[in-house]
Amino acid sequence: MCVDLLCSGVVMLQVEHLSVRYGENIALDDISFTIPRQRVVGIIGPNGAGKSTLIKAMLGLVPLSGGQVLLKGKPLLPQRQRVAYIPQRASIDWDFPATVQDVVLMGLTPYLKLSENLQEKHYTLVNEALNRVRMAEFSQGRIGELSGGQQQRVFLARSLVQAVDLYLLDEPLVGVDQTTEQVILNIFDELRAEGKSVLVVNHDLGQVVKRYDDILLLRKNLVAFGERDQVFNSENLNRAYAGQVALV
C-alpha cells in the first residue's frame, strides 16, 4: 500500500544527512530536508552560511563528505539533466561574445543529437522562452551588453527551454530591477503550476519572501525548514543571523 509522499510520486527532492567540507572548514553539517513537487522554496541565511555550497553539492559540483541527494526517489546525479541551475552572478563570465539567442540555444545542447543541425522548431522554443521572460526583442543583442537583470532573465530563459523538473537558482534577484523581479517571481508561479519545484537562494528578507511556499534557513546547520509562516519568525531569524545583519 502506498502511504508516504515518495510512493505517491509527490516528492521532488530529498537531501539526506548532507555534509560538505572545504579542507578543515565544515561548510554544511548534516543537512536533511524533503521538498515535494510544486513548491517554491527560499534558501535563506547570512554570508558564508553555505547556501551556494548546498546547491553545488546537490549537483556534484563540490564533493560531499557525507549524505545523499535524491530526485524523485533516485540519486540525482545520473538525472542531472532534469535539473536546471543558474549560478550566483559573480561566477559567470559576462564578457562571453554571444547573442541572447545563442545563450538560450545553448540550453538545448543536451537534447540535440550529434551532428543534428538547429532547426526552426529549436528557434521557436528559444523565442517562446524569451517571450516568457519578456526579452524577445533583445534576441540578437550581445549578452554582455545587457543590464544585470536582463542577463538574469536570459539565463532563466535558457533553463526554460530544458525539460527539467527542478530549478536551482542562486541569488537570481540580487541587484535586479523591479521588472526583472516581477518577471522572475511570476515564472516561479508558472513553474509551480506546471508541477515543478524551485529552490531559490535569497539574500533579501523583504516582501519577496511572501512569494515562497517554504523557507529553508541555513547557517552551516539547518536552522529551520518548513512552510513560510511557520519558519519565518524572529526567533528563527535570530538563530540564523545571530551576530550578523539581516537584510530586511
Q: Give, as ranges, the residues between 116 and 175 that touch ligand ATP (CB under 6 A).
A: none
* Cα 56 from Cα 63, distance rounded (Å): 9
* Cα 41 from Cα 12, distance rounded (Å): 12
Contact status: 162 vs Mg ion (CB under 5 A):
no
Q: Is 70 left (phi over 0), alpha (psi -120 to 50) or beta?
A: beta
Find the part of the chain contacting ligand ATP (CB under 6 A) among 10-18, 47-55, 120-128, 190-198: 47-55
Partner in contact with 172, chosen from ligand ATP, Mg ion, none, beta carbon below 5 to 8 Å by kind: none
C-alpha distance from residue 168 to each of 98, 132, 138, 142, 242 (Å): 23, 18, 25, 25, 26
Partner in contact with 176, chosen from ligand ATP, Mg ion, none, beta carbon below 5 to 8 Å by kind: none
Closest CA to 191 of 151, 226, 153, 160: 160
Helix boundaries (H) for 12-113? 51-58, 100-106
Contact status: 14 vs Mg ion (CB under 5 A):
no
Contact status: 51 vs ligand ATP (CB under 6 A):
yes
Contact status: 49 vs ligand ATP (CB under 6 A):
yes
Contact status: 87 vs ligand ATP (CB under 6 A):
no
Kindly tell me which residue out of 15, 41, 53, 185 binds ligand ATP, with binding defined by CB under 6 A.
53
Nearer to ligand ATP, 32 or 81 (CB): 32
Closest CA to 104 of 168, 56, 152: 152
- Residues near ligand ATP (CB under 6 A): 22, 25, 27, 45, 47-53, 88
